[in-house]
Structure 1
Amino acid sequence: MVRRVYRWLGWKIAIAALTLVCCLGWLPPAAASKISDFPRAEALTEESLADLESLYQAALAATQNGNFVLAEDIWTQAIALFPENPASWSNRGNARMSQNKLQAALEDYNQSVTLAPDLPDPYLNRGVVFERLEDWDAAIADYNQALSFNPQDPVAYNNRGNAEAGARQWQAAIADYQHAVDLAPAYAAARANYTLALWQNGDLPAAIRQMRNLIRKYPQFADMRAALTAALWQTGQRGEAESNWFAAVGLDRRYKDLTWVQQIRRWPPVAVEALDNFLAIR
């Protein structure tokens, strides 16, 4: 999960519209920082500040509308006005990653980290790129760095769990997902990841209980309805499996695409295989 869209006037947060995983997660606010804290900020005129604010609003609107090409262009303009601002580099990296421009996004995140080496969020965003590149060790290192700045960040624990899952370190992933949930009980995405990791680790009954609990709380949680479909089909509860499947695809048709489930949503192998079996028989 990419962490945030930063705003230079206080580092306020808006959630980037990158669909790597279900969007039921909860993101806590970042530590405030003023534009005057950045190098050469005092050289900015009131007119430049107004221009930056205007660009921020336009980039945020483009991001919310899913127009990442336009958002990238706007962040490029912001960088030209104030290249010392790490937020603009990180935000352009978000826009580029949303277009699957992974190397270009990595370069932007590297620059953001260089400009703000003591802030956690550029490391979180760069870690997601490393995950997409399947460089699990580099991703885990970035999440470790983010946690060294903020050891109570549930997003960092969830993300590190994702990287550990990619590296097939299931016990470590389960522990990190659990820690994320302990810190943020309403963080549904982390609960879903924890549930799937339990299944992969051999505890299907516990996973099914967790899926049912999540669906009871979030009836439109497509990810868990699709997962429960596969789990119930595997255990022979086929009527209920079909019912959950109709609900899941009604909410999000991407779960009919096994490649998307495996490579983008990144379900663990046992869940992907179970869904494949269900889809093959249907």
Structure 2
Amino acid sequence: MIKLIGIFLSIFLVFGWTAPAFAQTPSITPEELQVGDDLATKAFAATNKGDFVTAESYWTEIIEKFPTNAGAWSNRGNSRVSQNNLAAALTDYNKAVELAPNVTDPYLNRGTALEGLGRWEEAIADYNHVLALDPQDAMAYNNRGNAEAGLGKWEIAIADYQKATEIAPNFAFARANYAVALYENGQIDTAIRELRNIIRKYPQFADVRAALTAAYWVGGQKGEAESNWVAAYGLDIRYKDINWVKNIRRWPPSLVSALDKFLNLQ
């Protein structure tokens, strides 16, 4: 797995294929297979170090040697998304979908790139296709919720986030997305209760700490807000950047406004 640009975009997290399956390529020799495996190992190592430029170069080399390998195209797309090069990533995902139309990962990955471009309806169509292939795909429900939230359809998004958590109870980001969507929908007490429950299990979850900061501050619980902020900022300084919270993390408007009030001590 790799982390995408907080597009949540799946902060939302997106799965990359863990192996490019070179053996499925026709007429491949053992020597060529070894070369492909070695390059993929280097690509994943670079990804794990956060060196997405180098990872992209390895995937490009693999694609040149194995142009019909859908996994290589999809993983190069992931490397490009991690550099915020969404248009180029979309081209790679389109090719991966063409080569592997019955595999879910390219659709999931393409959906998150489409989200990053604000093409919500197209992203939803990709997630619908994933769910047609696998009705129990929790990531697809979570990501579809993200796209629906992008359209301001909060009640529909809440239902999808809830479904994701029913399928995968330990899917912490889906639970966080569910909570912040509840907050936007006016279910403040329920949202805060859910956020607190998440923190009990995942005390170092920066997103939830920051959300509690915002909710507590506008609710008048300033001590609670400040203590949660110390934890949130210590875990991830990006929450101090309201533009990142709004446009990359894509919190709902009411929570963004609440955090902005805290950051400016209003």
> Which band: TM-score by shorter chain?
over 0.9
SS of equivalent to 1:43 = coil
Q: Could you tell me which amino acid in structure 2 is paired with residue 265 of structure 1?
A: R
TM value normalised by structure 1:
0.89
Match for residue 217 of structure 1 among 201, 209, 213: 201
Deviations 1:100-125 (A, max 9, x none): 11111000000000001111110000
Deviations 1:162-196 (A, max 9, x none): 00000111111000000000000000000000000
Q: Could you tell me which amino acid in structure 2 is paired with residue 156 of structure 1?
A: A
How do residues 1-282 of structure 1 correspond to structure 2 at under 5 angstroms?
15-20=1-6, 21=8, 35=22, 38=24, 41-281=25-265
Closer/same/farther in 2, CA of residues 230 and 217 from structure 1, 3 Å limit: same
- The structural deviation recorded for 1:16 is 1.0
CA–CA distance in structure 1, aligned partners of residues 88 and 10 of structure 2: 25
Deviations 1:3-58 (A, max 9, x none): xxxxxxxxxxxx1132414999998998999655x4xx231111100000000100
For the 8 Å contact 1:26–1:188, the answer to whether it is kept is no
Q: Could you tell me which amino acid in structure 2 is paired with residue 154 of structure 1?
A: A
Closer/same/farther in 2, CA of residues 32 and 22 from structure 1, 3 Å limit: closer
- RMSD of aligned C-alpha atoms? 2.2
Give 5+ residue unaligned stretches, structure 2. Answer: none
Identity score, percent = 55
The corresponding residue for 1:10 is: none
Q: Could you tell me which amino acid in structure 2 is paired with residue 213 of structure 1?
A: N
For the 8 Å contact 2:4–2:11, the answer to whether it is kept is no
- The structural deviation recorded for 1:136 is 0.3
CA–CA distance in structure 1, aligned partners of residues 85 and 150 of structure 2: 20
Q: Could you tell me which amino acid in structure 1 is paired with residue 146 of structure 2?
A: N
CA–CA distance in structure 2, aligned partners of residues 186 and 273 of structure 1: 29
For the 8 Å contact 2:104–2:130, the answer to whether it is kept is yes
CA–CA distance in structure 1, aligned partners of residues 126 and 13 of structure 2: 21
Deviations 1:214-256 (A, max 9, x none): 1111111111111001101111111111111111101111110
Q: Could you tell me which amino acid in structure 2 is paired with residue 138 of structure 1?
A: E
Closer/same/farther in 2, CA of residues 209 and 278 from structure 1, 3 Å limit: same
Give 5+ residue unaligned stretches, structure 1. Answer: 1-14
For the 8 Å contact 1:75–1:88, the answer to whether it is kept is yes
For the 8 Å contact 2:5–2:84, the answer to whether it is kept is no
The corresponding residue for 1:6 is: none
TM value normalised by structure 2:
0.94
- The structural deviation recorded for 1:152 is 0.2
CA–CA distance in structure 2, aligned partners of residues 243 and 61 of structure 1: 37
CA–CA distance in structure 1, aligned partners of residues 44 and 19 of structure 2: 19
SS of equivalent to 1:181 = helix
For the 8 Å contact 2:213–2:228, the answer to whether it is kept is yes
For the 8 Å contact 1:136–1:163, the answer to whether it is kept is yes
SS of equivalent to 2:31 = helix
Deviates more, 1:15-24 or 1:150-159: 15-24
Size of the aligned set, in residue pairs, is 265
Closer/same/farther in 2, CA of residues 58 and 16 from structure 1, 3 Å limit: same
For the 8 Å contact 1:230–1:274, the answer to whether it is kept is yes
